[in-house]
Each structure stands twice: as C-alpha cells, then as structure tokens.
Amino acid sequence: MSNQDDKQIRIGGRSLAISGNVKQDWFIGWSPDYDSLAAEGPWEEWVRLAWAILSEDNKRRPSTHFHNQPQR
C-alpha cells in the first residue's frame, strides 16, 4: 500500500510500514496498528514490506531499459 501527498509517504501494510518525507528522502519504520515507532512482526510481514519498498523504488527510477542497449 502506498499513500502519498506533497510531503509524506507511507509504504507497507498494517503491521509494518515506513513513513517519511519525500522531499528529504528520509524514512523511518513504524507500526500503523499501534501507531508506534517500534515496528515488529513476523518474517512474512518484513518480506511484504521489502517488496513494497522495491516496488516503490522501481516507480521512482527513470526507465533505463532502452538507454542501456548496445549499439549495433
């Protein structure tokens, strides 16, 4: 899940998430269920959070697929 406005972004699920300021590119882990900075959960939740972070990273990267093709 990803909620974004001009200043804040939240990536993750109900048990584990990261939140931060997009302009500063600085994020912290937290637990939305408990509104706590002490994020904790089972391994599967951490893996889901990691996939959500990687998905967000792919959205932010400029497309380099066509630029890195060898010239013939």
Tell me: the pLDDT tens digits for 51-62?
999 998 898 888
The whole domain housing 55 covers: 2-60
* Within-domain flag for 25: yes
* Within-domain flag for 71: no
Tell me: the pLDDT tens digits for 27-38?
888 888 888 888
Find how far residue 21's CA is from the centre of its chain: 12
CA–CA dist 8, 31 (Å, integer): 16
* Within-domain flag for 69: no
Domain count, the chain: 1
Q: pTM value? A: 0.64
Q: Which of 21-25, 50-54, 56-60, 66-70 has the highest mean pLDDT?
A: 50-54
Element (H, E) at 26: strand 26-30
In three-state secondary structure terms, 57 is helix
Residue 1 has pLDDT above 50, yes or no: no
Residue 67 has pLDDT above 60, yes or no: no
* Within-domain flag for 48: yes
